[in-house]
Chains A and B, each alone.
Chain A
Amino acid sequence: EVQLLESGGGLAQPGGSLRLSCAASGFTFSNYAMSWVRQAPGKGPEWVSSISGTTGYTNYADSVKGRFTISRDNSKDTLYLQMNSLRAEDTAFYYCAKALTGWATYDIWGQGTMVTVSS
């Protein structure tokens, strides 16, 4: 079964850090671009960052550029998101998502992990 399982969410103070992980199974992880998409409560989804399958090429939304870092370990079938200098507006469910084709058509999503930034 194709599956993505996120972990690492929780409560962080403004200015703090968190590292999200996404464990993949059921498909050849290195063959696909992967992304993080977030969704604040009651709002629509927002693309955060993407990484290519093997070259390590990355893209970031302007709202997180310079603060968040996406990475992957293809030997462990795992995607990461290092989040630094967190702000209240980063509060959201964070989903990892697999690309069906190209970069930004997401056919498999994880269950999400909640990140709350509050003092």
Chain B
Amino acid sequence: DIQMTQSPSSLSASVGDRVSITCRASQSISFYLNWYQQKPGKAPNLLIYAASRLQSGVPSRFSGSGSGTDFTLTISSLRPEDFATYYCQQSYSTPPWTFGQGTKVEFK
């Protein structure tokens, strides 16, 4: 199975900060990498798919980059509604399609 490792596990930031979260796959997954945001008591919400494609309706302050094994989610200027947990997920080839352990973005 492909293991997905996110870093950091949590971070503290302020409104307006630039925030980056990294995700590393245990083997190459090309660009088959998705990012989700999850708020307490809610289902995950797709932000970025295919490593860098912005899902419809998602603000442009979210961006994704990377290919192969190393990927990054960047929030250019953190807003109050962005405090949440973020998960990467690989959708490469055959199952199982695995998620990272999550990165919690907290208010500093």
| Known A-B contacts A44-B101, A44-B102; A61 and B96 likewise in contact (beta carbons under 8 Å) | yes
Q: Chain A interface secondary structure, helix, strand, loop or mixed?
A: strand
A contact residues around B91 at 8 Å (CB) = 102-105
B contact residues around A46 at 8 Å (CB) = 99
- How many residue pairs link A and B with beta carbons under 8 A? The number is 55
Is residue A1 within 8 Å, beta carbon to beta carbon, of the partner chain? no
B contact residues around A45 at 8 Å (CB) = 36, 44, 87, 89, 99
User: Smallest CB-CB separation from B49: which chain A residue?
Assistant: A105
Q: Which residues of B contact A (CB under 8 A)?
A: 34, 36, 42-46, 49-50, 55, 87, 89, 91, 95-102
6 pairs of residues in contact across A and B, judged by CB atoms under 8 Å? A60-B95, A95-B43, A105-B91, A106-B36, A106-B46, A109-B44
